[in-house]
Structure 1
Amino acid sequence: MQTDVQRRAQLILQGRLNNTDIADLTNCSRSTVRLWRQRLNDLGATEEDVLELDELELRKLITPDFFSRTHTFDEPDWERILYESVNRGVQVKTLFNEYLEKAPKNARLMSMTTFYRTLKSHASKNNVTISFEYEPGEMIQADFVGRKTAKQPILLDEDGNERNYEIFCAISAKSQKIYVLVISSQTKLPVLQAFISMLEYFGGSPVLVVIDNFKAAVAKTRRNEKPAELTPEFQELSDHYQFGLKPTRARKPKDKALVENAVRIVQNDILAPLRDRRFFTLAELNAAVSDRLNVLNDRPLTKGSGESRNQAFEQIDAVGYRPLPERRYEPGQWFIRMRVGKDYHVHVQGNRYSVPAKLANVQVNAKLTTTSVHIFHQGRAIATHIRDEGTGKQITNPDHMPEAHRHVSQERLSGIKAMVREIGPNAERLVDQHFRSNKNPKATAKMAIRLRAAAAEYPCSRVDAACLRALEVEKSRISAVENILAAGLDQLHPPTVSPMHLPSPEENIRGAEYFASLLSQRKEEGDV
């Protein structure tokens, strides 16, 4: 996950946001962004150059000097501007251009963003509404549809009891194209999946995504001039897809007026027609919602040129979206500001994972996914481990150890098994069996080193399968594993042994009952 310093430099070099938006997204003032932009231009830095630097290196490269200067803008007649906008329907962009043309020479002029913001503040005092123009790919607004059971379909569980669910809604600002997805809850993982599906639905990343202050994404809400703080999971999501995630002010629905209107449309045009239906899975409910959504986006709009939302998106909005990265974002749980111990291990979810020894006693961040653990320091990944589902275990990468520690660990079974843990459980079993049968730690350590070399040549899954084959034939030697891999025997299915079928008893087979009756008969005859 990037730090605010790295994110600030990257957003400036991308050139898609103004100073105000970058300041809000990176927790600094606009003057800081302005000075950083000037410094980066002087250096001739590129986005690729910034991505190679960590936070400390970037701060050493860019140390802006702060000057306290007071400036006043040349302001127009705001009462006339409001009258033209509200009473005569003149677009704000046209009024801004007129302001630039009529301004005196050498006057300090407002930017378009400052003009819009100042006009909005004057409009709020006069209780009027402003209509803003949006550029292609500029913004998506997202929110959740409130639960109104009387107007919404019912989701049932296996026992026929009603289940709760949440409805995620988003709208692309320029074309008004709407996206809807039903998820299980507003916890982090379902909401992250909803955001990923939203971006894939629109086919790219916008410049900004404006959201409500739901807990999965916002750690601290925006208050007055203090910007909101995002949760680490959503900050990483925005960094991965390279868009700005901007929460609205608390209890200010007009900050996301487009999606508020979209929520009303979804309630009436998608959910209400399904209100009498019963569903048993989220997939079934989402299929029905998707059918209604396609009808909604294909329906011609009553205002404007009569195009549908889909047509408007493809013709004018899609060109502004940034292509999605090739690698899909992998959701995970973040642990922030964790202290590495003196033994260069950090506690993550009940287990201890190693980092390079030179980073002992520093603070790191850790991301825990379903399959792996990623550890970061100053915005740069420093270690990756396969996640261990157990507790109380120590997972050590031998490459993280000092040379002296590595030699000592190779004399202990736990250290030798750690060398092959990433290959698979069968490799650990083979090493364990070799250690116990040979009772020679150095020989077992050499075997582990050769197994790691085999894993560099073959996929770990094949090496682990070859270890299993060697265990089955009771050959705990590395040469057996290498021969199995060379011959491709690890890719063959293990032989199946047919169970032994005993013959069923026949009537002519004499058993205990026959001999008992024979003995009784002889006793009667006096032969016994």
Structure 2
Amino acid sequence: MKRGLTVERIREVQRLIEQGLSDRIIAKALSLRRTRVSEIRKQGDQAPTLCVSSPELPPDWAQGIDWESVLSDIRKGYEIKRIWEEQAEGKTGYVNFWKYLNRTYPSLLKGSVTLRDFVPGGHTEVDWAGKKVRWVDESGKKHRAHLFLGILCYSQKIFAWASGNEKKENWGLAHQKMYAAFSGSTRVTVPDNLKTGIKRTHLYDPDINPGYLELALHYGTVIVPGRVRKPKDKALIEGSVKIVCRYFFFLYRKHTFRSLLEINEALRRVVDRINTRPHSRFGVSRQERFEKDEKGALRPLPEAPFEQLYWKTCRVHPDCTVCLEKTYYSVPFRLREKEVRVKVTLRQVEIFEGDERVALHARDVSRGGHRILENAHLPPNSRAYRENIPQYVLSQAKSLSPELHSLLDDLFQEDALGHLRRAQGLIRTARQEVVRTGAAVAVPHIAQAIDHMRRFQTIRVAAFTRFLDQLRLQVSGSPDRDVVRKPGNPMLRKTETNDSLPPLQLQEIR
């Protein structure tokens, strides 16, 4: 039924006219025709007596509310219930507040609700929130935190956690924290079709990422992703993301966060407040419904904690290694130029050919370009080169300086082939120093230069050469330059000796 133009609505039109808004904007905001708004603009102060179907006036509680602020917060996407808590909780109930808004500004309130039935311990829905939380560290650098949310579909208890990114490690860690917060897992977990969880989407048989699948097997749950572009398949988590984000960003809209820990503390307070408030449909809070009906139906947590892992496909390089996180791990030489599957856990790297494990290494997370090799993985000629050439280099170093021999031995213990060319450069530089200054002077200089390199942790041929040059200059001193001033202008000088001046006159000029 079409509503008449009340006194209240006419006054609202006049108020918006006084603010300088156009007829089009006013008509759109109040669901009126532009001709009616134009007519009220022409009538001026006499407009409230015209075209009035009912003399409805605003209730007393509404007159003390800043409606401009209310409308501004609604347009920014904040939840109406949170606005009611801040503006009108002590003046009227939430239902009256909502009805007044719907009656006065119907175009601002739009929405739909889809109800589904779930059994206790049946489903969990998870997703990342689209909106990010900004925070600033102590140095002033700006960051953005990503919000992970999960919900138990029966009790609708919510979990939220903030992380630095949405990579596989944090995706798995978020699930572990969620199951720990719920004290159990459900039979089914429903994620979105994100790349960190779903390798390939399919209506009937999607491919789950191996690492995500192992996490599901560890907790005894089944991964059933929602259909692509079908948000109603996980409507509860979509709604929970809106509830938590609206509440969180409204409460902390004037606050600047300084760390992820602070953000997670604020999230915990917000989620606890949501979970302990009475649910409009259940009549009890989410937490009470969880404790009474769903907590006992969850599957118990495993005794051993889940070890975070992920899988990657790599091609073996001709040097019998695969590159992972800027570190090179050896693979049996028969697999050169072939693809292998790499399983990466917190402490180790496993390399598989099909279902057979062919290599196992300790994980190096330094990202320093190190090479982790096993002699058994190399072909016979490479093993011979790896074993014989370093021994020859060490014998050369021993004949030059004991300190040089000790340094190269330490380098070869770390990576013989990786440091071979550097060792050859150090030996060449040391041999040149012996030829230039003699063994009696060069050997102490070599020892001191190696000590300087170890102290400054700069094992480089260029640094070795620079230290030797400095030590040589300290012994011989700076070369003298005979500075002779020209007789015509004592302020000018030249570096070569002027033989035309007698010694006494040269001393006087100086």
Q: Report the TM range for the smaller structure's normalisation.
A: 0.3 to 0.5
TM-score under structure 1 normalisation?
Answer: 0.46
Higher Cα radius of gyration: 2
